Amino acid sequence: MHISEGILSGPVLISGIALAAAGTAIGLKKLDYERIPRAAILSASFFVASLIHVPIGPSSVHLILNGIVGLILGWGAFPVILVALMLQAMLFQFGGITTLGVNTVIMALPAVFCYYLFGRLVSKRPRIALPAAFACGAFSVFFGAVMVGLALMFTEENFLKAAYLVVITYLPVMIIEGIITAFCVAFLKKVQPDMLPE
């Protein structure tokens, strides 16, 4: 889901940077110091997640994990994902430096959105919480794919064709991430329930 350099037009890149800056500012404000260690661990997990490859047909996709990041951190997902993406761009050349803003928005905005959609459900009893967690993980990837289509809309083919292709390709990842998020939530409910949103 990382967009490489030289594909998007200038205005898209600049609006990406602006949106990412705004999101990161909000995220840093809401990220109190007590939550920094878990933010660091989630950032490291997100950083490594892109190396977990899911072979799918002609293309290749990777895990994203923005679902669990959004669920635990809320708006804090923005600075966390920005840091991880910057390190991926510098060390692995995944994505790019100019596309840092756009890539951050693509992955962090769905995380925050799903946090608001499913956050409240996750603290309920397991029968509701686990499907909600699955949905959170799956829809974070889904909305991320939609945003990739949006970003590419101004460059490549029309939005529906680009978005459809990305969503179909990431369908297995959606399911895997939903399962992973559900497992994480189940585990956290037992060990440290105050990590999950109220």
Residues binding other proteins (CB under 8 A): 1-7, 33, 36-41, 43-45, 47-53, 55, 58-60, 62, 83-84, 87-88, 91-95, 148, 151-152, 156, 162, 165-166, 169, 191-192, 195
The contacts found for 28-35 with CB under 8 angstroms, 24 or more apart, are 28/76, 28/79, 29/75, 30/74, 30/75, 30/76, 31/73, 31/75, 31/76, 31/79, 35/73, 35/76
Residues in Cβ contact with 187 at an 8 Å cutoff, skipping those fewer than 6 apart: none
Closest approach, Cβ 101 to other proteins, in A, equals 14
Of the pair 22, 90, the CB lying nearest other proteins is at 90
Of 138, 124, 4, 21, residue with least CA distance to 70: 138
Closest approach, Cβ 94 to other proteins, in A, equals 5
Of the pair 32, 127, the CB lying nearest other proteins is at 32
Closest approach, Cβ 14 to other proteins, in A, equals 17
Closest approach, Cβ 8 to other proteins, in A, equals 8
Of the pair 10, 58, the CB lying nearest other proteins is at 58
Of the pair 26, 117, the CB lying nearest other proteins is at 26
